[in-house]
Amino acid sequence: MPTDAVYAVAWADPEIVAAAKAGAGVLHFGGSQFFAGLPVRFQQTWWKAGDSETQNNTGTYVYPNAISDDVVYGNFCGAAWAPLLDGAVKYNVETKNPRPEIFVRALSSLVLVRDEALLLEVGLGKGKLLVSGLNHAEGQNSPIGNWLLARMIDEAASDAPAKVQWDADSIMPKIVVPDGVTLGFERLGTYSESGVWNSYRSMNHDVPNWVCRQNKVDSAVSWKTATVKSADAEKVTFLFAGGTGYATTAKSKGFELSFNGQALIPFDVVETFDGQTTAFAWSSADGSATLEFEAKKELAPNDKYGIFKLTVPASLVKPNQAQDISVRSLGDGSSRWFGINLYTDFSDLAPSAAQ
């Protein structure tokens, strides 16, 4: 890919990262690839900030920068920013990588202090990566939205080096899965909700989760698998991490898993919390496809976290392509959820093989 260019992406693949490393600029509009993200609303009533992650929003602080200096007064986003901030996503930048340069910071309350950003930048080799959680879909109808987008392109294309460098190779996670299976979650698509919760590896409320709930019909989460190199076997198995939760809330009609656009397996949250049962399974109507769940951690009597294995007939698989998986709610009126974790290295599940 040309390195004297600026790329706009929702997910950075190895080719994009390589181009940035060689000098290209990247505008990234899907920061959940790197950070845990939560939606925010535009509000100036800071005293209404709550004590939960989803309500933890007291406004913004804008640091001096070439992108927004001409449209910010008093170091905060005023009412003209409302289309960009309402429905935006703030990203928690407390990661193992160096703290990015933050242009627009999302302020937390004193109850839950978090280091979060709406617009940030890091250097990748000779190039730059700008990550924006602003609501550009709505912002495109406002003068300030178009102004900011133009300045972001200018910043990504400029020769001025980024103040903070990330290792370009480290942001593309290693893929290691047990023999005989394909990585079932490599790239996030759409989601109804995100949060910093748990996983089978950590119960410290420090793991990003992307979920859908049974609070309304068609609430959904979708993603892509790793590329299936061969579908010579009769069936193909995909592995990914995630969980189900809020089992004590009202039942609805459950969830439905689709594979490459075909509705395949109905299922629901795990309700068994007897301290012994860890294996659960659901099947398609004809029995040709199965979804297995090995629960490894739990918060009784509501949530379980573990490993999912989806096995489908090879006839449904697109050879030499990433496959599309989605889960949607069939019912409403419930807080029951299904969620996924962006893990790609399953070295802890031996024996393993790199993909």
Structure confidence by residue, pLDDT tens digits, 305-328: 999 999 999 999 999 999 999 999
Among 118, 149, 171, the domain boundary falls at: 171
Among 143, 171, 199, the domain boundary falls at: 171
Average pLDDT over residues 65-81: 91
Determine contact, residues 58/46, Cβ cutoff 8 Å: yes
Number of domains in the chain: 2
C-alpha radius of gyration, the chain, whole number: 21
Residue among 220, 200, 203, 202 at smallest CA distance from 212: 220
Distance CA 54, CA 173 (A): 27
This prediction has a pTM of 0.77
The answer to whether position 11 is within a domain reads yes
Which pLDDT band holds residue 51 (cuts at 50, 70, 90)?
low
**158 and 210 together in one domain:** no
**302 and 202 together in one domain:** yes
Strands 116-124, 89-92: parallel, antiparallel or unpaired by DSSP?
A: antiparallel
Q: What is the DSSP letter of 275?
A: S
**281 and 215 together in one domain:** yes
Distances 36 to 97, 121, 189 between C-alpha atoms, Å: 13, 16, 15
Strands 193-197, 207-213: parallel, antiparallel or unpaired by DSSP?
A: antiparallel
**219 and 102 together in one domain:** no
Structure confidence by residue, pLDDT tens digits, 280-311: 999 999 999 999 999 999 999 999 999 999 99
Of 167-171, 228-232, 253-257, the range with the highest mean pLDDT is 253-257
**258 and 338 together in one domain:** yes
Structure confidence by residue, pLDDT tens digits, 183-228: 999 888 888 888 778 999 999 887 888 999 999 999 999 999 999 9
**Quick check: 354 pLDDT over 80?**
no
Residue among 22, 16, 33, 27 at smallest CA distance from 127: 22
State the pLDDT at residue 352. 54
Range of the domain at 76: 6-171
Determine contact, residues 103/31, Cβ cutoff 8 Å: no
Structure confidence by residue, pLDDT tens digits, 112-154: 788 999 999 999 999 999 999 999 999 888 899 999 999 999 9
